[in-house]
């Protein structure tokens, strides 16, 4: 379960190759149109990959990647014009202005440097009516570029790309409903209201591949997915979760593999999963993998001289098996043409602080280029997996000031840069692109337990007596401390799964099946490798990771992954939007 260790439309890709212009070497650097027969023999000064990621009746989201093949630049401006009534409403990673149909995207202060052969990416939302015709001509600092004809640009899975992947697998697709979870939900009073929702299938040990205690194995789920698919598109969500030394900062969901068993992880866990997913029988499914929750951020936040460091996390950083394991999984699973890898990216209450934000992105890049993997094996990232961070906090913002103090100074926010999960996911996506991930990566947000509804949900800001009364009185997330992660009292179901709900977000998902425990409230003997973590004990008074606060956990909870009826009922009772 995600730890907190700090104290629907199809993609449209422009594929037409326009007449290229070559930059002829001369004192004035004049741009001269190239002879069409000579294209490919003279240098193309720049290329532009303009992609409509999502489109609906009145608007669209676009990503743009510009590659400079000319002299290095310390600042840049890209221009184009629309043939219709498109109007840009907001953007990121560039300063966007529009006059009539003409658009200018200029660098921000932090991304003005553009080396020879270097690329820069930015994106925006826009409105339109009628036809959303694609721009046909782009210039970089006045020099006309060609439009990338790669049929997918930087996206290895774009339409026409080598894998045939779509940009957002959730767009235009149904999502697999796990019949085992559906049966448990239906057996609960009132559970039929949500039993038809799609949830993740957790492959949390080697035995889960073939099925545990007579339950469904991976092939059984994929066969059922084909049945549910019919003639439609369908997404299957799998959680890849069995790293050596798993969950080094917690005990409730420690795994079966010891810190050094990387070869066993590769040959007995990842290789068999990859072989099954590669079966041509399942080629028509869109298979989304959530790759190894609760791993890589621990290498940033819980090692070395940090007060939250653990000996177990120091071991995993030293032996490199988290990085190797994630890299190996991305490489092997990424070789399957219909698999979409989303790497777990913690949540805002874990890596939203300045010390963790950039360092975590760099660690993800290290893992994504280990063991034969490349950034092209990463389709996106997922945040808030199995956690409780509120999707949006509407009653206060990070920029508010109360009684002479910034919201960042409140005990709850504690100098974090983000107050909710969606703003964090969108910002972290930009950070990931800036360190080298593809510009069209998408984010998933697990909303299975972050609704925080019910009678205790605030209806407005708190009192302005102090910054703490203001934040605490208005925040939806009612945990005692943002570091609490186990079976939280008062939590509710969040937004229902949906595709493309916001800019940069591929989907809201229920990756953690509601009603499955985060860990046991007392020690329970088991053969699943799961220990007893005091953070699941409602009497526990805490540690540095949760500010030495009470754990906020529900009593009488079973082992992680086991059905917890009392929690399921509480989640339904406190659902927001309400059931």
Helix (H, G, I), strand (E, B) or coil at 358: helix
Q: What is the DSSP letter of 270?
A: I
Query: Has 294 been annotated as catalytic?
Result: yes
390 CB-near residues (< 8 Å, 6+ apart): 420, 421, 450, 452, 475, 476, 477
Distances 481 to 32, 375, 545 between C-alpha atoms, Å: 62, 35, 9
Rounded to 10 deg, the angle between the 321-334 and 354-368 helix axes is: 50
Query: Has 232 been annotated as catalytic?
Result: no
Bridge partners (DSSP) of residue 339 are: 287
φ and ψ at residue 26, rounded to 5 degrees = -155, 165
3-state SS of 511-568 is CCCCCECCCCCCCCCCCCCCCCCHHHCCCCCCCHHHCCCCCCECCCCCCCCCECHHHH
Which residue is catalytic, options 446, 468, 477, 518? Answer: 518
Distances 456 to 477, 491, 576, 577 between C-alpha atoms, Å: 10, 10, 12, 14
Report the distance separating Cα 495 and Cα 332, nearest Å. Answer: 32
45 CB-near residues (< 8 Å, 6+ apart): 21, 22, 23, 31, 68, 69, 70, 140, 143, 144, 145
The CB-based long-range contact list for 256-262 (8 Å cut-off, 24+ gap) reads: 256/205, 256/206, 256/528, 256/529, 257/529, 259/312, 259/315, 259/316, 259/319, 259/321, 260/319, 260/321, 262/321, 262/324, 262/325
Distance of CA 311 to the CA centre of its chain: 28
Q: Other CB atoms closer than 10 Å to residue 80's CB: what's the count?
A: 19
- Structure token digits, residue 534: 């005091």
Instruction: Answer for the pair 485, 450: CB distance below 8 angstroms, yes or no.
Output: no
Instruction: Answer for the pair 534, 518: CB distance below 8 angstroms, yes or no.
Output: no
Report the distance separating Cα 127 and Cα 135, nearest Å. Answer: 15
Report the distance separating Cα 147 and Cα 435, nearest Å. Answer: 24
> Among positive and negative, which fits the CA dihedral 273, 276, 280, 281?
negative
Helix (H, G, I), strand (E, B) or coil at 142: coil
Which residue is catalytic, options 294, 344, 400, 468? Answer: 294
Q: Which element (helix H / strand E) includes 32?
A: strand 31-33
**Cis link prior to 233 (omega < 30° from 0)?**
no
Report the distance separating Cα 437 and Cα 379, nearest Å. Answer: 9
- The DSSP result for 447-508, as a single string, is -TT----STTS-SS---TTSHHHHHHHH-S---SSTT--SSBTT----SPPEEEEETTEEEE
Residues annotated as catalytic are: 294, 518
């Amino acid at each position: 379960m995600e730890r907190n260790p700090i104290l629907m439309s199809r993609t449209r890709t422009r594929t037409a190759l326009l007449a290229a212009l070559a930059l002829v070497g001369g004192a004035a650097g004049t741009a001269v149109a190239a002879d069409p027969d000579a294209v490919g023999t003279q240098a193309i000064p720049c290329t532009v990959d303009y992609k409509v990621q999502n489109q609906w009746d009145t608007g669209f989201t676009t990503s743009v990647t510009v590659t400079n093949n000319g002299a290095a630049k310390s600042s840049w401006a890209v221009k184009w014009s629309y043939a219709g009534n498109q109007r840009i409403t907001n953007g990121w990673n560039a300063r966007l202005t529009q006059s009539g149909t003409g658009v200018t995207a200029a660098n921000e202060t932090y991304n003005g440097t553009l080396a020879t052969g270097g690329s820069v990416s930015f994106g925006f939302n826009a409105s339109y009516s009628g036809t959303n015709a694609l721009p046909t001509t782009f210039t970089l600092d006045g020099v006309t570029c060609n439009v990338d004809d790669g049929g997918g640009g930087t996206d290895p899975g774009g339409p026409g790309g080598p894998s045939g992947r779509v940009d957002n697998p959730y767009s235009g697709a149904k999502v697999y409903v796990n019949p085992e979870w559906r049966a448990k939900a239906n057996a609960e009073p009132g559970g039929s209201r949500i039993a038809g929702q799609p949830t993740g299938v957790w492959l949390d040990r080697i035995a889960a591949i073939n099925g545990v205690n007579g339950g469904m194995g991976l092939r059984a789920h994929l066969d059922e997915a084909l049945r549910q698919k019919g003639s439609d598109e369908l997404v299957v969500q799998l959680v890849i979760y069995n790293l050596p030394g798993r969950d080094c900062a917690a005990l409730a969901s420690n795994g079966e593999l010891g810190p050094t068993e990387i070869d066993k992880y590769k040959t007995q866990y990842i290789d068999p999963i990859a072989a099954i997913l590669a079966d041509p029988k399942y080629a028509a499914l869109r298979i989304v993998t959530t790759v190894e929750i609760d791993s890589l951020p621990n290498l940033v936040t819980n090692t070395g001289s940090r007060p939250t460091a653990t000996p177990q996390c120091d071991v995993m950083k030293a032996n490199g098996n988290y990085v190797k394991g994630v890299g190996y999984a991305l490489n092997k699973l990424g070789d399957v043409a219909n698999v979409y890898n989303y790497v777990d990216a913690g949540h805002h209450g874990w890596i939203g602080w300045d010390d963790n934000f950039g360092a975590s992105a760099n660690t993800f890049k290290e893992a994504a280029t280990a063991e034969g993997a490349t950034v092209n094996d990463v389709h996106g990232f997922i945040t808030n997996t199995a956690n409780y961070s509120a999707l949006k906090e509407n009653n206060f913002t990070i920029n508010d000031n109360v009684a002479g103090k910034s919201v960042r100074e409140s005990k709850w926010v504690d100098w974090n840069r983000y107050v909710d999960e969606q703003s964090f996911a969108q910002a972290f996506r930009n950070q990931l692109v800036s360190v080298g991930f593809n510009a069209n990566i998408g984010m998933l947000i697990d909303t299975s337990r972050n609704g925080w509804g019910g009678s205790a949900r605030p209806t407005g800001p708190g009192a302005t007596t102090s910054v703490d009364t203001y934040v605490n009185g208005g925040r939806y997330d009612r945990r005692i401390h943002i570091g609490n992660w186990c079976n939280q009292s008062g939590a509710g179901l969040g937004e229902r799964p949906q595709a493309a709900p916001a800019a940069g977000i591929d989907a809201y998902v229920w990756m953690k099946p509601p009603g499955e425990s985060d860990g046991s409230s007392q020690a329970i003997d088991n053969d699943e490798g799961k220990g007893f973590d005091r953070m699941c004990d409602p009497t526990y008074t805490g540690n540095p990771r949760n500010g030495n606060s009470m754990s906020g956990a529900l009593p009488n909870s079973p082992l992680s992954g086991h059905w917890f009826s009392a929690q399921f009922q509480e989640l339904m009772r406190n659902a927001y939007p309400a059931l």
